[in-house]
Structure 1
Amino acid sequence: MSLSKLCGRMSDNARYPRAFLVKKSEPTGFYSVDRKPGSLAVAQDLTEDEETVEDSIIEDEDDEAEVEEDEPTDLAEDKEEEDVSGEPEASPSADTTILFVKGEDFPANNIVKFLVGFTNKGTEDFIVESLDASFRYPQDYQFYIQNFTALPLNTVVPPQRQATFEYSFIPAEPMGGRPFGLVINLNYKDLNGNVFQDAVFNQTVTIIEREDGLDGETIFMYMFLAGLGLLLVVGLHQLLESRKRKRPIQKVETGTSSQNDVDMSWIPQETLNQISKSDKLGQKCFSSMGIKYLRFSKQCLVDAM
């Protein structure tokens, strides 16, 4: 008889009280149920059911023990993977901050400066060794695009003290207009020799093209525009000159005239005689002055010789 059938039969019997006491017989392994006003003996079926339950409990305990044994193994494997990676992490006893002097703009072929603050919150000294920066491929940070020289610091920061470090770099000009991953690492250690590395900045940034100043392309463009303007001015000048040459010269008819055709009859004869005399006198004076000048020049030449 199974345990479920036994319980069902006991519940159906309303003449007997529901409370009962279960006793286990030590030598045979049988269970007996005593209840008032009588007792009920349970056969070996009940014992087999109890043994099945106990076996299932033991199996569950064995499974839990196996799971507990597997967990330390997984933790050990994770630690081994971290050791194989070889990348140190930041110390919980230190804080770092970063400030870009000219904002988070990264112009190509231009100096970028930033300040890194280091705070020692622990009870032991930290030795800040170096500060480095690099541009990396945004889809794979293991691939370096531009790696800058590490700045050696070798600065001791006592407990509850702060230190600030300055670093500058110049993005390459061909990188303008494209995104790259910028990684800035601060390397330090404690007095026990434990090495730490804090990724102060680890984000994707866009390198902007340089707008100030004149490059080769801009100079060539200005020279081309100046030459084009000069050529246009020369062409307009030649066009205007050709139009002027093609225009015909307007001829003005003046007719025939001569001094003998002048009517001088209205002038009194006395006035005409005076004019003619004055003309003759002027010619004589001019001729006499010329002869005297020639004689004077000749005499000067003779004296000079």
Structure 2
Amino acid sequence: MNVDFSIEDVVKKRYSVRNYKGREIEPTKRKAIESFIDSLDNPFGNKVNFHYLDDKDIKNKEKLGTYGVIKGSKQYIGTTIKLEPMALEALGYELEAVVLYLEHLGLGTCWLGGTFDREGFADAMKIKEGELFPIITPYGYAAATKHEKEIEMRIMIQADKRKDWNQLFYKNDFKSPLTSEEAGSLAFPLEMVRLAPSASNKQPWRILLKDGDFHFYEYKEPGYSDRFPYDIQSVDMGIAAAHFDFSLKEKGIKGHFNTTSKPELKLSENMEYAFSWIRE
């Protein structure tokens, strides 16, 4: 996978698009998107499957729905995995790579994990039995204006706001916030994580700098994932890993992820270790 565009530019420019133009996506862009998806990988080693859906190929359009959240979209990308350790994180990592690439191409997207007719889309995308189908995204050219429900949703989740550094990043323990000055050359990747999208803008990632390595933890919002047979916020952790990793590579900083470097720490309720990034 080759991320050959400015991470900062696309991260700062992108927003969730819920209202789309009818404009067709050019064949050259479609081909570029498929080639990019074919090249994807992730640091966790899990297989992520991608599925395409075009409006003109849908026979029973009335069966597909997004509960009024998405309007005007003619194309969707879906993702499936086998439910196993780190698979949801792998999905978040790879699909966020696609989302950022689509933004680079001038195309809008919107993560959908709960507000879509899963059964209808699974049938239209020919999802195989036994595959977990957690997330889809529409994609296309954004309309000039936002629809009423979109505006309401953005206000409700405070879509343009992000937590401050002292709520997300720490050193040695979770009582000592990490400053950007202390982060040094890693301040940029951390800031790109801070700006990342997440389900309902919950921003569940908490990152701890200890002995030169960065350890990612998930703050599990009580009750948030209860309506799913999996932890939907694990996908957000994969998104955070993507922003961190792509930013590091852009700056030429080498390291690798693992799940075996968990620090010995007493954690507060609802906090859970996810993975670590080890500098090389």
TM range (shorter): under 0.3
What TM-score results when the alignment is normalised by the length of structure 2? 0.21
Greater per-residue strand proportion = 1
Greater per-residue helix proportion = 1
Ranked by relative contact order (alpha carbons within 8 Å, sequence separation 6 or more), the top structure is: 2
Give the greater-gyration-radius structure (CA).
1
